Amino acid sequence: MIVCVCRRVSDREIARHARAGMDFDDIQFELGVASQCGQCESCARDVVAQCCPSRPVAAIQRVPASA
């Protein structure tokens, strides 16, 4: 889906850059996302947050069963 209409940047393109280790500021500089009208910034940041390798989406902890 197109996230940034002004620069015609898709969620896939943002995700690809995020998975390569770029943070939002780097992606904004590289692709121009959220640099014109700004309407896409929250969506673009969400895509980056979901793809960032240093931030797991969910952590599961096992709780031992009571005896």
For residue 59, tell me if it sits in a domain: no
CATH of the domain at 25: 1.10.10.1100
CA distance 6 to 50: 22
For residue 60, tell me if it sits in a domain: no
pLDDT by 10s per residue, the chain, length 67 = 999 999 999 999 999 999 999 999 999 999 999 999 999 999 999 999 998 755 554 554 566 766 5
- Summarize pLDDT for 9-27 with one digit per residue, the tens: 999 999 999 999 999 999 9
Which of 37, 2, 50, 19 is CA-nearest to residue 27? 19
What pLDDT is attached to residue 38?
92
Quote the number of domains for the chain.
1
For residue 14, tell me if it sits in a domain: yes
Q: Which domain holds residue 34?
A: 2-51
What pLDDT is attached to residue 51?
86
